[in-house]
Structure 1
Amino acid sequence: MRKVISFMHVSLDGFTTGPNGELEWAIVDEELNPYVDALFRNVDTALYGRVTYLGMQSYWPTVLTNPEASPRDLEHARWVENVSKIVFSKTLSSAEWKNSRLVKDQIAEEIEALKQQPGLDLMIFGSPRLTHTFIHLGLIDEYRLFLNPIVLGGGIPLFQDIKDWMKLKLLEAKTFQAGVVGLHYQAVRQ
C-alpha cells in the first residue's frame, strides 16, 4: 500500500517557517541534495497546501526556461512539472499547474482512496497547515524531517493542537556536515 510521507524542514525549536513566513533559513546544499533526490524517486504524487502550491507553481516552471539554472534544479523542475500534484484548499477555485488537481473537502476519503491505488508514495511538501490537518486526521504514515541548526523563536510549528500522544518509531537519523540532521520516523498506529 502507498504511504503518506511528510517532508519538512524544521528548526531546533520546532518551527517550519520563521515568524514572518521566512524559509531561507532551511539549509539545502550539495550534500543534502542527492539524499533528498533519492527520496523523490519513490514518490509519484505531491501533496500541497494552498500557500506552498502557489509558491511552487510560481517558481519551478520558471526554472525550466532559465539558462542559468543548475543541472540539479533543472532535473528537479522536470520532476515537479511532471509529477501528479494535489492541492488541498477551500479558497482556491482551480489548480492550473500541469498535472494538478484541487481537493476542497473529504480529505481523509481522498487520501484513503489514493493509498489503495497502485503507484508510488504520496508526499506532503512543506505545507505546515496541511500537515496539521493530516496529523489530526491520522493520515501521515512517515515523517522525513530535516532538523536545521537554528532557533527561530516563532513561526508555524510542526506540531500544533495535538490532543493525544503520537508515538513515532525512528527508522533513520543521518547527520550532514552543515549541521542538518535528517530524521525518518514512522507513525506507530495504536
Structure 2
Amino acid sequence: MGTIVVSQNVTLDGVVEDPSGEGGFRHGGWFAEYMGQDWEAWAELELAEARAAEALLLGRRSDEYFGARSAVMAGEWVDRLNRLPKYVVSSTLKEPKWTNATVLSGEVVGEVKELKERIAGEIVVYASRPLVRTLLEHDLVDELRLTVFPVVLGAGERLFGETSDKRPLRLVHSKTLGSGLAHLSYQRAREV
C-alpha cells in the first residue's frame, strides 16, 4: 500500500501562496528571497525525496506550473520528476501538461484511496493546496514534510484551512537546512 507524502515549502506563518512571485500576490517571491545561501542543502533534500518517490499526485494548477517548466529546466531532480508517473486530480482537465501524467477525474477521495492501493511506496504531493486540504480532511495524508522559510508574511493563502476535527500528528524528523531553513516531518498519529 502506498503512502501519501505532502511536501511543501511554507513560510513560518504557513503561507504557501505564490512562492515564485509569478502569481501577482503582493508578498510573492518569498522562496528565492528567503532561500539565502541554503539552495544547495534544499536541492539535496528535494533530490533525495524525488529518488524515493514512486509517483506524484497533483492538482490541475500544479500540473500546469510544473509541466510548463519541466521542458526548460535541466538536472537530475527534474529528470527524475519527469520520469515518475503523475496523477493529476481535476474535474475539468482533459490533457495534462506534464509528461507521463494521468488525469483522475472521478471523486477525489475514492480515486486517491484506489491509487494508494495500486502503488507501493511514496506518492508525493507538491504544491496543490486545495488538494492537500481535501486529503487532510479525509485522513489520507500519511506524512507532512514542511520546509519552513524564515519569514512571516502576515497574509496569503495558507497550507492549512479549517477542518471538521483535529488532525493529530507526531514529529518524526527535524533538520536544519543550511543556515536558515528548517525541515520538519510529521506522520499521522492515530492517538494523541
Say whether 1:93 aligns with 2:98. Answer: no
Q: Match for 2:72: what amino acid?
A: T
CA distance in 1, matches of 2:185, 2:165: 21
Q: Normalized against structure 2, the TM-score is what?
A: 0.86
Corresponding residue for residue 21 of structure 2: none
Calculate the aligned-residue CA RMSD, in Å: 1.9
Of 40, 45, 53, 2:55 maps to: 45
CA distance in 2, matches of 1:122, 1:23: 28
Q: Normalized against structure 1, the TM-score is what?
A: 0.87
1:184–1:23 CA distance, 2 compared to 1 (3 A):
farther
Give how far 1:22 is off: 6.4
Say whether 1:33 aligns with 2:34. Answer: no
CA distance in 1, matches of 2:12, 2:97: 36
Encode CA deviations 1:12-57: one digit per residue, 9 max, x unaligned: 1111115818663123601121122112221121111111110101
- Aligned 1:69-148 pairs, distance under 5 A: 73-148=74-149
Could you tell me which runs of 5 or more consecutive residues in structure 2 were left unpaired when the two chains were aligned. Answer: 19-23
Corresponding residue for residue 69 of structure 1: none
Instruction: Number of aligned residue pairs: give it.
Output: 181
Of 68, 72, 80, 1:58 maps to: 68
CA distance in 2, matches of 1:139, 1:23: 29
Corresponding residue for residue 3 of structure 2: 3
Q: Match for 2:29: what amino acid?
A: E
Structure 1 vs Structure 2: percent identity of aligned residues?
Answer: 27
Q: Match for 2:63: what amino acid?
A: Y
Corresponding residue for residue 176 of structure 1: 177
CA distance in 1, matches of 2:138, 2:178: 36
1:52–1:96 CA distance, 2 compared to 1 (3 A):
closer
Q: Match for 2:10: what amino acid?
A: V
Which has the larger displacement, 100-109 or 164-173? 100-109
1:11–1:38 CA distance, 2 compared to 1 (3 A):
same
1:3–1:165 CA distance, 2 compared to 1 (3 A):
same
Which SS does the other structure have where 1:110 is aligned? helix
Which SS does the other structure have where 1:105 is aligned? coil
Say whether 1:20 aligns with 2:21. Answer: no
Q: Match for 1:62: what amino acid?
A: V
Could you tell me which runs of 5 or more consecutive residues in structure 1 were left unpaired when the two chains were aligned. Answer: 64-72
Which SS does the other structure have where 1:54 is aligned? helix
Give how far 1:96 is off: 4.6
